[in-house]
Amino acid sequence: MSERRIKLRVPAITVLAAGALVALAAWPVFLGARDGGGPDASAQSAPAPVKPDWRVRDASIAFLESRAGRQSGDMLTPRMLSAEYLQRYRERGDLGDVQRAEHAARVSLAAQPRGNVAGDAALASALLTLHRFREAKAAIADARRWKRDDPGLAAEAASLDLELGDVDNARRLAATYRDHPSFDVVTARLDEETGHLAHARALVDRAMRRADAIYDTPAERRAWLHARAGELAFEAGDREAARRVAREALAIFHDHLRALTLLARVELADGRFAAARDAALRASAVQPNPEVLGMLADAQSALGERDAAAATRDEIFAVARIGNALHVNDRLLTVWEADHRVRTGEAYAIARRELTIRDDVYAEDTLAWTAAQAGHWDVARTAIAKALRYGSEDPSMRRHAEAIAAHAGS
């Protein structure tokens, strides 16, 4: 996985000013709490100009790194550094930054183990990104011992509940903070998993408009919300809306991985193979994960670029062999292998292992599909029933269910 670094030469005063951006990395937790105009006030506003905060990311990190460790008992600098590393990961896709974020958060907590709420939250964010969900949940629980009624921390807890398949507890938390902006994105995912896709789209749209109205919202976060809105539009069958908001996201943040992935998916579904190839190529330059490489290979094959498609498929196997040591791409890999009926036994084994890490409806769907492709039909039927038990409208889950049911009826 390539690592890109942007070298900036800025006056010292600019570097110091860039430190003010650090707190913005915690936007998902704290934005709702600082929106004093009510849940819909900023959502009604016109979009603010995009703040190019990514341009000073390296300078801000370099400054914080130069300060880290200078003062005994300093818990603030490593905590801020953790947030900046994690934000740079979101912008560039280098998992090394997530590992650095975890380390910095632990340094902060070592300096102040008790009452270091932001340190616990920073650690939880890093662990969540590394798919160490149970450890992340423990870190959020530590933070909530000190700030039990904080809506942002409650939203993080609910998000982890969903990853671990505890839909009932996620529902309880969502009901407690029903109208709080911090919960819009989490409640939207809950709605998506439980068959309320239209409401999920409305919540993400509201969160997107609120973020667009606030100049201090990190550009990557604004783009993420547009991409998320596009994913839900695609799931609802509204491809044109999905394409439009994906392009909006890329206008906000040019190389946004999630937006590029969505755009490639939409173009591939519409048979626009050259456009799909171009979007997937851009996405793979950010992070060559199995999903984007798989779409790239499919687009190349459809365009008759056989040698390029074969090379891309080889890269998928290379990523699986040496580029996925942290296992954060396991689900993407197994879905691609099952869809293409490649190494189906291995895909099934990985899907079973994934289920020990998290047991959300998508893990059950992945298990069902890989089991079906590997010929384990009893496992497939049980798993797809669990995946759909809350009424998900996800079209890929429905297609898997239909294929599994058809085999049972044959």
Decide: 363 and 335 in contact? Cβ < 8 Å.
no
Tokens of 252: 């906000």
Q: Which letter does DSSP use for residue 105 in this model?
A: H
Predicted pLDDT at 24: 35
CA gap 293, 316 in Å, rounded: 6
CA gap 97, 109 in Å, rounded: 18
Residue 68 has pLDDT above 50, yes or no: yes
Residue 326 has pLDDT above 90, yes or no: no
pLDDT band at 348 (very low <50, low <70, confident <90, very high): very high
Number of H-type helices and E-type strands within the chain:
22, 0
Predicted pLDDT at 322: 73
Place of tokens 């505890």: 166
Share of the chain above pLDDT 70, in %: 88
Tokens of 368: 């069902």
Predicted pLDDT at 319: 85
Mean pLDDT value across residues 165-183: 95
Predicted pLDDT at 323: 61
CA gap 107, 145 in Å, rounded: 20
Q: What is the largest CA-CA distance in the chain?
A: 72
Q: What is the mean pLDDT of the chain?
A: 90
Torsion of CA 33, 59, 325, 113, to 10 degrees: -50
Alpha-helical runs (H) found in 323-394: 330-339, 344-357, 361-373, 377-387
Mean pLDDT value across residues 56-60: 98
pLDDT band at 410 (very low <50, low <70, confident <90, very high): low
Instruction: Report the first-to-last Cα separation within the chain, whole angstroms.
Output: 45
In the chain, where the domains are located:
330-410
Tens of pLDDT, residue by residue over 357-369, are: 999 999 999 999 9
Tens of pLDDT, residue by residue over 147-156, are: 999 999 999 9
Predicted pLDDT at 409: 67
Q: Residue 174: which residues within 8 A CB-CB, separation 6 or more?
A: 158, 183, 186, 187, 190
Annotate 1-16 with b (16+ C-beta within 10 A) or e (fewer).
eeeeeeeeebeeeebe
From 396, 398, 371, 399, select the one nearest 383 (Cα to Cα): 371
CA gap 395, 45 in Å, rounded: 34
Predicted pLDDT at 25: 36
Handedness of CA 287, 260, 5, 98 (dihedral sign): negative
Residue 29 has pLDDT above 80, yes or no: no
